[in-house]
Structure 1
C-alpha cells in the first residue's frame, strides 16, 4: 500500500480495516527505512513519547519533569530525529543500519469522538544488525485525526515492555 492509497475523501468514518491498514503502512515505512513517508503519518503538533519505568515498576507520567526513553514534543522533534538518522548524525544509528520487522496485534479502538479515534495495540519488533537479532515489544497508544483527506497521528505514546536493553533504542525499534 502506498501513501496515496491511504488518502480518502474527508467524509465517512474510518473502518477497522482502514485503521489496520494505516497502522501497517506506518510500520512498513519504518521497516523499509522510508523516512519521508513515515513522517507523513504525523500531525505537526504530535508528541511522540516513550516513558520509562521507575524504581517501583511504574511508568513515568510527565515527560517534562521525569525521565523518558524518548520524547519529542511535536513533529519537528521527530523530523530532527529522522534528519540525524538519514545523515548519520545519530548515536543510535551507524552503518549498517539495522533491518527491522514490526508485527502488530491486538488493535483496539478505545474511543471515537467526532473525527478523533483513540487506539491501543501491541507490537513486537525484530531488529537485525552485526549478525545479532534483538527483540523489542510493547504497547502503543495513538490518537488519530480523521478530519482531513489523510488520517494523521496527533498523539503517540509507546510503552516499551522489555526496557532492559543493551544498546540505544531508536524510533525504528518501536
Structure 2
C-alpha cells in the first residue's frame, strides 16, 4: 500500500498508511519503554483484548467466553487492571524485574475500511530479556482502529501467538 490517503469516511477523518504504521510503532514503543499510561491511551473504553489458544495444532479457539484463552480482557477496564497490577507489583504473574522488550512489526495490511473503522492485520516478533536469558514470541495481530475522534483508538484487538509452547507466564508486554 502506498502513502496515499485512505478513502475518506463520513466525518472527513483520514489516516494514511504511514500514519497507521506510526500508530502501531508508537503503541509498541510505549510497551518497550514501559510507559503504561501512554500505552493505555491507545485503547477505546469498550475494546476487547483477546489472545486465543490453540485448540489443536492448527485450530484456534473461537469463543473467549466459553473456551480457553491465553489472555482475555472484555474491555479497557480489564487492560487497566492488568497495568495497575504490573505497576504496583500486585500480581503473582508480574515479572520482577520487568523484562526488557523489543517489538518488531512487519507485513502491515489494511484488510478493510468501513467508514471510520480500519481493520488491520500485521505480524510481530518480540524479544524479551530477563535474568541473562532472551526469549522470543511471535505471531499475528488483528486490530480494528476507529479514526472518528481526535485520536485513533483501538476498538478490537486479537493476538494470535504462533509459538505457544512457552516456559513461563506470557504478559501484555511480550506480545
**TM-score grouping bracket, smaller chain normalisation:** over 0.9
Q: Give a deviation string over 1:10-69, Cα, whole Å, max 9, x none.
A: 743100000000000000000000000000000000000000001353100000000000
Partner of 1:7: none
The residue number in structure 2 matching 1:94 is: 95
* Equivalent position of 1:46 in the other structure: 47
- The list of structure 1 runs, each at least 4 consecutive aligned residues, that deviate by more than 6 angstroms after superposition, is none
Q: Which residue of 2 aligns with 1:33?
A: 34
**What RMSD in Å do the two structures reach over aligned CA positions?**
1.0
Report what 1:18 is aligned to: 19
Q: Secondary structure of 2:29's match?
A: helix
Task: Tell me the equivalent position of 1:122.
Answer: 123
Unaligned runs of 5+ in 2: 1-10
Aligned length: 165
SS at match of 1:77: helix
Match of 1:103 in 2: 104
TM-score by length of 2: 0.92
SS at match of 1:96: coil
Question: Shift of residue 90 of structure 1?
Answer: 2.0
Provide the rounded CA distance (Å) in 2 between the counterparts of 1:125 and 1:92. 19
Shift of 1:92: 2.3
Output the TM-score relative to the length of structure 1: 0.93
SS at match of 1:169: coil
Distance 2:104 2:174 in 1: 11
Structure 1: unaligned runs, 5 residues or longer: 1-9
* Partner Cα separation in structure 1 for residue 35 and residue 57 of structure 2: 38
**CA gap 1:31/1:56 in 2 versus in 1, 3 angstroms:** closer
SS in 1 for 2:92: coil
- SS of 1:19's equivalent in the other structure is helix
Q: 1:56 to 1:28 in 2, by over 3 A?
A: closer
1:89 is displaced (CA, Å) by 1.2
Q: Secondary structure at the match of 2:138?
A: strand
